[in-house]
Amino acid sequence: MIWFRELIVLLVLAGGGSLSAGATPGTQASDPAPPGCGGLLQQGGLVICQAPPGTQFRWNDRQVRADEEGWAMFGLGRDAGEKLEISIRPPQGAKIVEELTIEPRNDAFRVIEGLDCDKVDARTPEQKAHAGRSWVKKQDAFGTFHEGRGALDGFVRPAKGPPSSPFGPARKYVGVSAQTGEACEKVSVHRGYDIAAPTGTPVIAPAPGTVTLADPDLYYEGGTVFLDHGHGLVSVFMHLSEVDVSAGDEISSGARLGAVGNTGRTTGPHLHWAVKWRDMTRDDRSGDFYIDPALLLKLDGGKAMSARRKDGAPVQTGSINPE
């Protein structure tokens, strides 16, 4: 990964801006790192930025602000462009433009036969009503935001077991309805990370968060938990056989959420774990999208915190102060 740290320094100097009033250029340890971004720089990844609190980061037509500790983060879509230009505007000092290179994905396309046409889509009035109620619950939860550290503490695997289906590939399901004899097909992109595990395997929080949805019986998802990590990041766990938390619960990393199951519209016991990045500057949820949980697993807490430092030294967040 390329951090363009030198470029930032040059731009700061060229702009004549002082980002740390009182600090002498070139002083060592206590110097705050220059504002900038790094992180999981791949399509489906996560950009993590650090700057004085309140700094605005703009890219495309979106923006986030650094929190009171100076951190900001935002997701990269599966189709994110190769070059990402971020405009960084601290509360004081010159605007900085950082350009990051985003690694492409190479997701497979698969055709899966044997789709149970009668099971996948809600057909009967009862099924449609169930699916409708489930949709409203999910929308409400996706529109609920809690503060938190996002990805700063890293992520751990939420269940023991091998990965069985990665994030990203488009899958075309084909089958024949047993009821009508008609062929059906459904194309979908797999927006989660599946872990193969038997029913009853504990599901734990991959990172701290607040539960925003805990329901044993959503139509497609079955037993479901949403865990809001802050910074717009929410984990979604589906097909659970047990749900052991309630909406509003604050959960620490590693704490039990429930158990793997085979509930909802699924073909066998597994955990579907998805992570959505939500654009908190928008009132509607149309700008939100899923990112790749497997990439988040590469972030352990220490690495997330030091993502901005080429030398690997931990960033002293307490020293990031515009005053």
- Least distance (Å) between residue 301 CB and Zn ion: 26
Query: Which residue lies nearer to Zn ion by CB, 192 or 232?
Result: 192
Query: Which residue lies nearer to Zn ion by CB, 59 or 193?
Result: 193
Neighbour-count burial of 304, counting CB atoms closer than 10 A to its CB (0-12 exposed, 13-18 middle, 19+ buried): buried
Q: Which residue has the tokens 């220059």?
A: 34
- Least distance (Å) between residue 184 CB and Zn ion: 20
Query: Quick check: 75 and 291 in contact, CB under 8 A?
Result: yes
**Is the alpha carbon torsion for 84, 85, 90, 91 positive or negative?**
negative
Which tokens hold the place of 243? 């749900």
- Least distance (Å) between residue 192 CB and Zn ion: 4
- Least distance (Å) between residue 105 CB and Zn ion: 17
Q: What's the Rg (C-alpha) of the chain?
A: 22
Query: Which residue lies nearer to Zn ion by CB, 78 or 272?
Result: 272
Q: Given the rule CB under 5 A, which residues bind Zn ion?
A: 192, 194, 272
CA distances for 114 relative to 144, 188, 267, angstroms:
37, 15, 10
CA angle 230, 100, 34 (to 5 degrees): 70
Rounded Cα distance between 248 and 43, Å, is 32
Query: Which residue lies nearer to Zn ion by CB, 272 or 278?
Result: 272
Query: Which residue lies nearer to Zn ion by CB, 52 or 192?
Result: 192
- Least distance (Å) between residue 165 CB and Zn ion: 5
Give the CB-nearest residue to Zn ion. Answer: 272
